[in-house]
Amino acid sequence: MQTPNIVLVGHVCIDHNTTESATYTNWGSSVLYMAKYLQATYFSVPLVITNYGPDIVPYLPAVDMVPDKPNQGQTLVYENDTRSVPRIWKAHNTEYAEPPELTAAVIEAVREADIVVVATLLPNYSPAYVQELLSYAKPSALRVLCPQGYLRHIEADGLVTPRRFTEADDIIPLFDLIIFSEEDHPQALKVAQQWQSHNKDTHFIVTQGPGGASIVTEKEITAVPTTPLTPEQIIDSVGCGDVFAATALYDYYQKKDMVSAIKAAHRAAAKKLLSTF
């Protein structure tokens, strides 16, 4: 099957990471992890559409981006501490992370895409913005949402706390596939069932760490288990969920088989946990 044309729309950030094995600063965000993984694994050339400043340029991986030069004064910064239980996040420079302008170049890229992914780190992509963005996608395109940002509230000191997805009724019907984690919502399975009950044509995958992942419908939760690693085996869990999502959406686009997609994503996520990638 022909390699799909993939567009990833969302925030990018500089990560200050304290992980299971190290402390370091690097590029971050769902869209960059997904783009780099898709490029390395499937020889795809995804396009990342975002806003960013010159401070992230020394860290950026070799991926295609619009704009191709910094267009903000600074870049969103995330502090990730995965050694803490529960995990601790802090976000800074949020004022530089507005949704990217829907320029002629962006519109043309979305029109040509076979897969359009929206993956947010902040809850500032409005329903009207997402609706307009996806209005340019062709009817056959797979529309995927990784809604982490909509489930995060940023306190005055930058601390990331849980948030109710108040825009769900307007945003979820725009997508074919939603992928998110139990880490993003304390009642992820329950809320996914609620959302699916109002959006029968939307598929939901909830990841559950060492517990695997589940396909969620209004009336049924189908578990797809994984073989968990021991804490001693894990080198770096940052970006693991993004690698899972990238693999799942790619495999699902090719095969239209949700269980196959999740099993492939489990294998990819395990490899990520064993590396810093």
Higher pLDDT, 277 or 215: 215
Say how many domains are in the chain. 1
> Would you say residue 232 has pLDDT above 90?
no
Indicate which CATH number applies to the domain containing 252.
Answer: 3.40.1190.20
> Would you say residue 230 has pLDDT above 70?
no
Provide the pLDDT for residue 181: 94
- Give the mean model confidence (pLDDT) for residues 42-59: 96
Whether 78 is in a domain gets the answer: yes
Rounded CA separation 154/151 (Å): 10
Provide the pLDDT for residue 236: 65
Q: Which residues form the domain of 266?
A: 6-273
Rounded CA separation 74/55 (Å): 6
Rounded CA separation 111/193 (Å): 31
> Would you say residue 10 has pLDDT above 90?
yes
> Would you say residue 162 has pLDDT above 70?
yes
Provide the pLDDT for residue 210: 87
Whether 35 is in a domain gets the answer: yes
Whether 176 is in a domain gets the answer: yes
Provide the pLDDT for residue 238: 64
- Give the mean model confidence (pLDDT) for residues 207-223: 94
Whether 97 is in a domain gets the answer: yes
Whether 1 is in a domain gets the answer: no
Sign of the alpha-carbon dihedral angle for 254, 257, 259, 260:
negative
Whether 214 is in a domain gets the answer: yes
DSSP letter assigned to residue 235? S
pTM above 0.85, yes or no: yes
